[in-house]
Amino acid sequence: MIVTTVDDSLVKDLESVGELWVRRDVPMAAHTSLGVGGPAELYVEPATPGALAAALRLLGDAGVPTVVLGRGTNVIVSDAGVRGAVIATHPGLQKLSLAGSRVVAASGALVGTLVHLAADAGLSGVEGLAGIPGTLGGALYMNAGANGTCLADVVETVTVLCPDGSVQSLRRDEITFGYRFSSLRAQRLYVLEASLRLSTSDPARVHKRMYEVVTTRCQKQPLSARSAGSIFKRPPGDYAGRLLEAAGAKGRRIGDAQFSTKHANFIINLGRAAAADVVKLMAWAQQSVYEQFGVWLEPEVCMIGEGMEVLGRQDCAAR
């Protein structure tokens, strides 16, 4: 049981905010794609960017540790749970709109929905992200990318809530992006919405490319299993999957957590996996790859909750 950081008066203040759903002790296993994790002390779902901003201000003023979660597709949550608050931008913040070649999307909008909307409108630039299951906010934080495409390529502006409670609109040249990195994350700027500038194209051609991307993804990755996506980042000049497979990771299992036999950089939940099982597998993999190849693999997934600081960071907004 985690020590409470949330008093009743704060909960009442949050509940008084319009379009904000507030609950206590919500099991995070039900809100993550891997299906592991103990309870969040407080679980908050805003339905509008304004409600998200209000919740973040109230929690910040109260000094309550806060994690912003998207669809929970790239996270591992501790079995002990999350001290403080988890704010879920999905499913409440999914608004998407088109204006010429520009797409404006709220932080909880699904990347897949965004990709399909763009393709239907004959807009190119994000079809390489087809099949990525997360939300726009988390994808921006991590600069999600695949198949030669990343979000940094198409970002025009990002509207964020700053640590001082102010709302700002940042131009692309005011944001630094790198491999699975953005200054949004480094500066703890919470994404409210973003504008993406795409290019006009033939809808049939964009849909064809989407189909090719998704087909390849299905062939190579265990998409039908419960997982958190790629576990480790790609090391310079190599691939985590190749190193893990060479180290004997495929099929290795602790409890109900197992390295996929289809792709070595995925850990899947066979049914009743615990976060502790996943962390032990990750630690084994890091040590094995280092001993055999001299490469230390860094987690790509966000490690959230009590006791998860050893392998990763908690200062990320998850997809």
Residues marked as catalytic: 180, 230, 300
E strand map for 162-250: 167-171, 177-178, 181-182, 190-197, 199-200, 226-230
Within its chain, how far is the Cα of 214 from the centroid?
19
- Asked whether the beta carbons of 172 and 155 are under 8 A apart, the reply is yes
Show Cβ contacts of residue 130 under 8 Å, excluding neighbours closer than 6 positions: 112, 115, 209, 210, 213, 214, 217
Segment holding 138, helix H or strand E: helix 136-142
Structure tokens at 125: 């630039």
3-class state of residue 123 by DSSP: strand
Sheet of 167-171, strands arranged across: 96-99, 102-106, 190-197, 155-161, 167-171
Q: Which residue has the tokens 């615990």?
A: 274
Which residues face 178 on adjacent strands? 181
Closest alpha carbon to 194 in 210, 174, 211, 213: 174
Q: Look up residue 105 and give its DSSP letter.
A: E
* Angle formed at CA 50 by CA 48 and CA 54, multiple of 5 degrees: 120
